[in-house]
Chains A and B, each alone.
Chain A
Amino acid sequence: MVKKEMIAMLLAGGQGSRLGVLTSKMAKPAVAFGGKYRIIDFPLSNCINSGIDTVGVLTQYQPLKLNTHIGIGIPWDLDRNIGGVTVLPPYEKSGESEWYTGTANAIFQNLEYMENYNPDYVLILSGDHIYKMDYEVMLDFHKESGSEVTIASMPVPIEEAKRFGIVITDENKKILDFEEKPENPRSNLASMGIYIFNWRVLKEALVSMADQPNLDFGKHVIPYCHGKGMPMYSYEFTGYWKDVGTLSSYWEANMELIDIVPEFNLYEEYWKIYTKSEVLPPQYIAADSVIERCIIGEGTEIYGKVYNSVIGCGVIIEEGTVVRDSIIMNQTKIGRNCTIDKAIIDEEVVIGDCVELGTLPEKENDTRPDIYNSGLVTIGERSVLPGHVKIGRNAVVSGETDAEDYPNGILDSGGTLIKAGE
């Protein structure tokens, strides 16, 4: 009989709309990070490094990239005879069919998947954070404390606490109260969206609240369990944990990787992060190029000058081009004599010669200042930029553009140029 002590359910169906055009064609967990990784690599690698070999990945929004990336789980050693990784999209049922309407609803719709493995514990994860964490240690804590539900939490500055679910604990880390995004937080312990449930508790809660619309862990399941008076504990985590939900936090987290000794160190032998490598050959650095404070992925060719940047795999940066403080993702090609300043350039973008990004004075974005801010230029996946154009700060470009899209060769700061269709 199949028996797994703990299985993981990874929520990877969200759009992550605050990442703007980066998530217009892919779910947030599939967004590239740190030169060669995708965000979902971090929780998946944590799982296998913690000895969890059964992972259900719940997908819904734009899953193609995610499906291709995960495949049968070879990079994470999750290609298993029993267990391994399973992609779980919403499916049609004989009765009423629905999309995943909330985090807990998605798990509820896959009760059967979990049942197959006869688990004692279920680990709930989300696919949009950068961190290294040993879930086995969290499980040990869960067992020792006699907890029914354990919530991983970490201290955050009190002024930011109102953005999170907040747990209030006693000195034994037992949870006394739970508040979702409170106006006046009573503690600074923020929930990281990582939960360990005793399987029968999770199942009972999901079944009894099945009719709740938009069934959500933070809003419904956790308060339900709390209301029943079950022993719930907070597992305190103090390592590096980064939410990369906005363009500026995404940019910052990438830039932290190029510090001389980064706080989040990818170079440790211990706790490796795995990813699907499509490009194998080494990178080529030409005779006249300059590279300072960068990390660069496989197969990239650099003929220009690159400072303080994170460059992905298979990128080409031609002669005379100067790149500063930017993120350039896989397979992007940048022509000659360009100036790229503080830009996020998505995968497979083609940029012509003599293009300037981020050189004009800053202005607020005209359509979504809540997304496109911090002076960043954002270029969406597979965009094409013609030669000899200037694009200002807080501007966004997506799609195949040509010279006619740029009056006088300029897209001013704060401009939005999104071409629908391909």
Chain B
Amino acid sequence: MRALGIVLAGGNSRRMGELSHKRAISAMPIAGSYRSIDFVLSNMSNSHIQKVAVITQYNSRSLHEHLSSSKWWDFGRKQGGLYTFTPTVTPDNSNWYRGTADSIYQNLVFLKRSHEPYVVIATGDCVYKLDYNKVLEYHIAKKADITIVVKDMPENAEIDRYGVVKMNDDCRIEQFEEKPMVAKSRTVSCGIYVIRRRQLIELIERSAEEGRYDLVQDILIRYKDLKRIYGYKLDSYWRNIASVEDYYGTNMDFLRRDICDYFFKQYPDVYSKVDDLPPAKYNPGSRVRNSLISSGCIINGTVENSVLFKEVFVGNNCTIKNSIILNDVYLGDNTHIENCIVESRDTIRANSHHVGEAGIKVVVEKNERYVL
């Protein structure tokens, strides 16, 4: 393969609220059986990128647990493989990663020792399918220094949490603003970049010398008039999950047959770590409508327009509506949950009542499961 991959999975977002208290955003569970990072890793694997580095920092335990074996994405290889880079203390540096560019700088040896001519950089918090080879071919055809994958967002999207770009007719990026108060276009950066490896090393080293640490602010935006930076328009499904509303919305999107088919039935596949769980079980009293149910669930109550992750237990007489129940949640009898996201491994006592009134309510309830 002509490219190696870097997955930026170290950041946190305040917009995730309590959901990122115990895990990195890239480790957020998605669509019942997956985690966010599975999409970028599967894309890399399906694009025949064999050598991938995942850069982690914030709350990385659950992410490391998910990446404990590289075989699920077919990265268990002698040539290349899956690398995870966490901040480390060396004789001349004891800093955390001070930004995305700095996180690459601190692992520059990985880039210098590789021989692949190109690098694909992507974040771990987006849900999409993309053959990076297409972006790479476009990059070469445009004779670009850097190619950024961009997407036109719908009218109702919150543009102000993205990098907003404006391109000319040739798709060269002329304006690039990070999280602007007033956006000048509806085209946003998807956080996927293609760049020549030597070019990247040079830019990263120069930024580090100047004490600049951010890939977007200090390289993409700062160099946009000096380097040829192009936008590659993505027309297919793409969604960033890094806010409670978008996380909820992304999961709910999978209740649509076209989106579910696009991700899980059409080639190529999305891969994930395999849990050895039994089939989902529907006991008498279960009443399930328009919902996604994952393996290991046991259902005794009503579930409507919801996504149940793995190993959820729904007690007798429960009602779950328009909600996302993360993995390994126990819902006691007669519980009512509506417009909620229930945090994983929660134990909800019998007769509980949780309704998201104004928006989506994040429920975190730690009770002893077996002593009620």
Interface residues of A (CB under 8 A from B): 34-36, 74-75, 258, 260, 266-267, 272-275, 277, 280-299, 310-311
Contacts and interface: CB of A to CB of B under 8 A. Distances in A.
Nearest to B305: A287
Contact of B279 (A35, A288, A292): A35
B250 to A, nearest CB: 14
B274 A267 contact: no
Contact of A260 (B272, B283, B294, B307): B283
A284 B260 contact: yes
Contacts of B308: 282
A311 B271 CA distance: 23
Contacts of B255: 284
B271 A280 contact: yes
Contact of A295 (B264, B279, B289, B291): B279
A258 B282 CA distance: 8
B279 A280 contact: no
Contacts of B286: 291-292
Interface in B57-74: 71
A36 B279 contact: yes
A260 to B, nearest CB: 6
A310 B279 CA distance: 9
A288 B33 CA distance: 24
A274 B276 CA distance: 6
Interface string B283-311: 11011111111111010000000011100
Contacts of B252: none
B32 interface: yes
A297 B289 CA distance: 17
Q: Which of A74, A280, A311 has the most CB of B within 10 A?
A: A280
A291 B282 contact: yes
Given A286-B290, A294-B281, A311-B279, 20 more contacts: A36-B278, A74-B71, A75-B274, A258-B281, A260-B284, A266-B278, A267-B278, A267-B296, A280-B34, A280-B271, A281-B270, A282-B295, A282-B309, A284-B292, A290-B287, A292-B284, A294-B282, A295-B280, A298-B295, A299-B264
B31 interface: yes
Contacts of B309: 282
Given A287-B290, A296-B282, A277 B274 contact: yes
A298 B292 CA distance: 10
The 6 closest A-B pairs by CB, nearest first: A282-B32, A35-B279, A266-B278, A281-B264, A287-B290, A282-B294
Contacts of B274: 75, 277, 280
Contacts of A284: 255, 257, 260, 291-293
A349 B282 CA distance: 24
B278 A289 contact: no
A115 to B, nearest CB: 30
B216 to A, nearest CB: 33
B260 A281 contact: yes
B283 A282 contact: no
A293 B282 contact: yes
Contacts of B276: 75, 272-275
A35 B34 CA distance: 21
A95 to B, nearest CB: 39
B281 A295 contact: yes
Given A285-B290, A291-B286, A296 B280 contact: yes
Nearest to A293: B284
Nearest to A314: B265
A241 B248 CA distance: 44
A285 B260 contact: no
A376 B308 CA distance: 34
B262 to A, nearest CB: 12
Given A289-B288, A298-B295, A273 B278 contact: yes
Given A280-B270, A299-B264, A287 B289 contact: yes
A48 to B, nearest CB: 11
Given A267-B298, A293-B283, A283 B278 contact: no
A61 B209 CA distance: 68
Contact of B292 (A282, A289, A310): A282
Given A282-B293, A284-B292, A297 B282 contact: no
A311 B282 CA distance: 11
A281 B32 contact: yes
A197 B314 CA distance: 47
A74 B271 CA distance: 15
Given A273-B276, A292-B284, A293-B284, A285 B34 contact: no
